[in-house]
């Protein structure tokens, strides 16, 4: 008898991390893979990235539309409600033995809350982390409390999940899935990357990803304008912008990016690069700038620097390749100057990624195979 494992994914970045877990489940004869695509995957504005899942050879069992065209707090709350309605029907039809989710997105919260009342156990990946500037932080911890198996990326995060009352027997430090994706991806050569992007790399290049800080009041436009103003001080930089997620207040950034790129010959923007092209870009650029988690989780493996702006990622584990700075033009300009100093560049040679080494995906699948999915629902709060 095989166990039906349903993986739920709502964004391009999340799928890039989950891909090899999904492949491992698919290849394992004692497990049956089910896939639900939702959120940004199904939005033309965000690139209809569900197609990337299909191109990789997976069959999507259900597609659940959640997003509205309103990125205000009211619109996001409605999207969460749409998700619960869709997940209720999908989980009732698919009847998985376990669902697997990653991270802290609001559509994933809807999925897990629905699974809770449907009495379906949940395995949560990348719990225990902190992003204190975001609504994602309490969402992530809420998902942890509604989950039954926990696959975390570092020892500190393992301790934090246990601190939340989860049994140590259910919390496993498997390492970061992003490192696994890097090791399993055949990276494109520079010329192929340039061809795919229709972009010529300059002498120095940065990958730019900036998202709203969702626990602050409408700061996205102001902070991003400061970033663009700082980048204007470096006219010879090659810049590759990726578009923001569907966070509250994120849509305004689309127009700012498109306007900036339009007036600069050595800058481009892409809605979605896909995992292979994104990682290949990381291998070619001199650093990343913005406030994406990728600058902390994946960039160190490439021995490149990260300029981490503002509070969005405050609380995450970081290493010496990360330069934290405020969200003003002066602070960002200073950070860019530091990034390109010979001393900082030399120190990058010895950087060690705090999220471990490859193999996380296999460790997750092995645990899913060997862990009994029965009798998981009735948890006992673990007191420290």
Q: Based on the fold, state whether residues 199 and 170 are members of the same structural domain.
A: no
- Residue 249's pLDDT band, with cuts at 50, 70 and 90, is low
H or E stretch including 243? none
Residues 143 and 253 in one domain: no
Q: Are residues 72 and 51 in the same domain?
A: yes
The whole-number pLDDT of residue 43 equals 85
338 and 210 in a common domain: yes
Is 378 a domain residue?
A: no
User: 366 and 280: one domain?
Assistant: no
168 shares its domain with 314: no
Structure confidence by residue, pLDDT tens digits, 271-326: 888 889 999 999 999 999 999 889 999 999 999 999 999 888 888 889 999 999 99
Same domain membership, residue 276 and residue 325: yes
* pLDDT band at residue 248 under the 50/70/90 scheme: low
State yes or no: pLDDT of 214 exceeds 60. Answer: no
DSSP string, 105-135: -HHHHHHHHHHHHTT--EEEES-S---TTST
Of the given ranges (15-29, 148-162, 165-179, 215-229), which has the lowest mean pLDDT? 215-229
Residue 383 within a domain: no
For position 18, what pLDDT does the model report? 95
Higher pLDDT, 219 or 120: 120
* 94 lies in the same domain as 243: no
- Range of the structural domain that residue 270 is part of: 190-350
- Say if residue 366 is in the same domain as residue 346: no
| Residue 49 counted as domain residue | yes
Query: What is the distance between the alpha carbons of residues 133 and 208, in angstroms, rounded to a whole number?
Result: 19
For residue 184, tell me if it sits in a domain.
Answer: no
Neighbours of 146 (CB within 10 A): 18
Average pLDDT, the chain: 91
Residue 183 included in any domain: no
Structural domain contains residue 46: yes
Residue 171 inside a domain? The answer is yes
Question: Do 8 and 106 fall within a single domain?
Answer: yes
Q: How far apart are CA 42 and CA 267, in angstroms?
A: 27
Residue 182 lies inside a defined structural domain of this protein: no
Three-state SS at 34: strand
Number of structural domains (the chain) is: 2
CATH code for the domain in which residue 243 is found: 3.40.50.2000
Say if residue 226 is in the same domain as residue 287.
Answer: yes
Under the banding of pLDDT at 50, 70 and 90, the label for residue 247 is low
Query: Which secondary structure element, helix H or strand E, spans residue 157, and what is its range?
Result: helix 155-163
Q: Are residues 345 and 365 in the same domain?
A: no
pLDDT for 234 equals 93
At 68, the pLDDT band (50, 70, 90 cuts) reads confident
């Amino acid at each position: 008898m095989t166990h039906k494992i349903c993986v739920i994914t709502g964004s391009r970045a999340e799928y890039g991390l989950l891909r090899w877990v999904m492949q491992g489940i698919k290849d394992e004869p004692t497990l049956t893979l089910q896939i639900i695509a939702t959120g940004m995957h199904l939005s033309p504005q965000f690139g209809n990235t569900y197609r990337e899942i299909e191109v990789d050879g997976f069959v999507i069992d259900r597609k659940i539309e959640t997003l509205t065209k309103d990125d205000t707090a009211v619109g996001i709350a409605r999207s969460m409600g749409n998700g619960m309605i869709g997940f209720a029907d999908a989980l009732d039809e698919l009847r998985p033995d376990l669902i697997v989710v990653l991270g802290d997105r609001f559509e994933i919260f809807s999925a897990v809350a629905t699974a809770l009342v449907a009495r379906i156990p949940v395995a949560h990946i990348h719990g225990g982390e902190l992003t204190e500037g975001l609504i994602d932080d309490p969402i992530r911890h809420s998902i942890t409390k509604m989950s039954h198996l926990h696959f975390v990326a570092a020892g500190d995060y393992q301790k934090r999940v246990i601190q939340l009352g989860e049994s140590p027997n259910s919390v496993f430090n498997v390492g970061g899935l992003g490192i696994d994706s890097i090791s399993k991806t055949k990276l494109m050569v520079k010329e192929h990357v340039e061809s795919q992007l229709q972009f010529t790399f300059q002498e120095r290049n940065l990958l730019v990803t900036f998202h709203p800080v969702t626990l602050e009041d409408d700061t996205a436009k102001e902070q991003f304008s400061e970033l663009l103003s700082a980048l204007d001080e470096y006219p010879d930089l090659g810049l590759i912008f990726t578009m923001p997620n569907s966070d509250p207040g994120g849509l305004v950034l689309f127009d700012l990016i498109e306007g900036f790129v339009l007036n600069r010959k050595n800058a481009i923007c892409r809605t979605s690069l896909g995992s292979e092209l994104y990682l290949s870009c990381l291998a070619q650029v001199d650093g990343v700038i913005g406030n994406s988690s990728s600058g902390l989780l994946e960039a160190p493996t490439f021995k490149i620097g990260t300029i981490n702006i503002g509070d969005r990622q405050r609380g995450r584990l970081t290493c010496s390749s990360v330069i934290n700075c405020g969200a003003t033009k002066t602070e960002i300009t200073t950070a860019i100057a530091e990034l390109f100093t010979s001393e900082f560049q030399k120190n990058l040679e010895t950087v060690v990624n705090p999220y471990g080494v490859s193999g996380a995906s296999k460790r997750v699948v092995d645990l899913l195979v060997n862990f009994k999915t029965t009798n998981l629902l009735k948890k006992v709060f673990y007191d420290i």
